Chain A
Amino acid sequence: ELKVEQNPLFLSMQEGKNYTIYCNYSTTSDRLYWYRQDPGKSLESLFVLLSNGAVKQEGRLMASLDTKARLSTLHITAAVHDLSATYFCAVPISGGYNKLIFGAGTRLAVHP
């Protein structure tokens, strides 16, 4: 059974600092997705990682995928308050017809 674990679950950061969120998964997958969720809102797609070694960057966020280690990272550079949200990684079940297994989410709070 596929399990997806994120850590940390809560992260309080100072503005301007860097940090990394980790997403480990338990069975083989060559794809992984990152989403952002603001309180009371839906999921906003951040990154679609489709192969081993994939790296994507958007603004202060950079995501990478290591399929051999079954690990993805979401790196935050020089955090700003607007990045405060909950971040989820999701992995598709192999042969699972678009069934995604989500991590528990990392709640990020960026403060001055």
Chain B
Amino acid sequence: KAGVTQTPRYLIKTRGQQVTLSCSPISGHRSVSWYQQTPGQGLQFLFEYFSETQRNKGNFPGRFSGRQFSNSRSEMNVSTLELGDSALYLCASSLSGLSGYTFGSGTRLTVV
């Protein structure tokens, strides 16, 4: 079965720009979570969506936002990019916590 698909795989942006990342979950999975991974801070939770509703948000500034569509695909947006936003952004989809979480290949964002 198809896994979690994230696009694009790589992005290079300039400070001050904005970026949109996309995540298509496994078919039938309604929960999509987003994580940021950096060498310094490790893996940090950004937010989680279920049936188009944000149910939980991590400790990130308002520049980080997301949404989920009726087909469960999710996007996250980062506005006014800063150098510190350079990271690997991972999304995970889940049927339920009992079945675990499947991660996509990630989007590596570089801000210059």
Q: How many residues of A contact B (CB 8 A)?
A: 23
* CB neighbours of B31 from chain A (8 A): 97-98
Determine the residue in chain A with the shortest Cβ distance to B91. Answer: A42
**If the complex has contacts A31-B97, A96-B56, A98-B31, are A45 and B48 also in contact, measured as CB distance less than 8 A?**
no
| Nearest chain B CB to A11 CB, angstrom units | 17
Pair B101/A98 contact, Cβ less than 8 Å: yes
Interface of B is mostly: strand
- The chain B residue with its CB closest to the CB of A35 is B103
Assess the B33–A48 pair: CB atoms within 8 A. Answer: no
> Which chain A residue shows the least CB distance to B32?
A98
Given B101, B104, B106, which contacts A100 in the complex, CB threshold below 8 Å? B101
Question: Smallest CB–CB gap between A26 and chain B, Å?
Answer: 16
Across the interface, B104 reaches (CB within 8 A) one of A33, A42, A50, namely A42
Judging by beta carbons under 8 Å apart, are A42 and B100 in contact?
no
- Identify 9 new A-B residue pairs, CB closer than 8 A, beyond the known A41-B106, A48-B99, A98-B97: A31-B98, A35-B103, A41-B105, A93-B56, A97-B50, A99-B58, A100-B33, A100-B101, A101-B45
Measured CB to CB, the residues of B under 8 A from A are: 31, 33, 35, 42-43, 45, 48, 50, 55-56, 58, 90, 92, 94, 97-106
A: residues with CB less than 8 A from B are: 31, 33, 35, 41-45, 48, 50, 88, 90, 92-93, 96-102, 104-105
